[in-house]
Amino acid sequence: MRCRKSATVWAQTPRRDHSMRCVMTDGSLPENFNWVRARSICSLPTVFKELEQGVRDDIETRQSLFHPSVPVRFTVASIGQRRFSVIRAVENSPTESVDFTLTNDGITAQDDEKAVCITASIALNDRGECRLKVGDEELNQWQFRKRALERMFFAPRGS
């Protein structure tokens, strides 16, 4: 399938039956936008799995930025369907971790001292985008991950 070309940029997006449809990517939505289908796809379990994959990608990027001789290692440990942990290990130092948990109401990240770093619910905004909602603020997934992991990645305890 090819999307028609015009001044508006179009992209292919998957449908529930795995076929493709054309949607505008300039932020506007067609008059008949199917918000019910979009909200159904914007579910906590789906966003949580996407968030876990994003964290894995972040760890791979962060690890690649260290010189091979630096004894820092990041790993992800999945703990069932509703929790995963990011672990920072350095030789001769205590490990650090950030736990991501899927609850009935949202997604929480907390450090190994059980201090909550960030908690979010999800929402489909008026632009048809699935976003993490922290208070009144809408976040992209990378922003949520940054808030949860930045200290561990760039300013760990004891450094």
CATH class of 43-154: alpha beta
**Distance between CA 124 and CA 132 in Å, rounded?**
9
Give residue limits of the domains in the chain: 43-154
**Distance between CA 41 and CA 117 in Å, rounded?**
26
**Three-state SS for 20?**
strand
What pLDDT does residue 91 have?
Answer: 84
DSSP one-letter string for 105-128? S-EEEEETT--EEEEEEEEE-TTS
Q: What is the pLDDT of residues 50-107, one digit of tens each?
A: 999 999 999 999 999 988 888 899 999 999 999 999 999 988 888 899 999 999 999 9
What pTM value is reported for the model?
A: 0.78
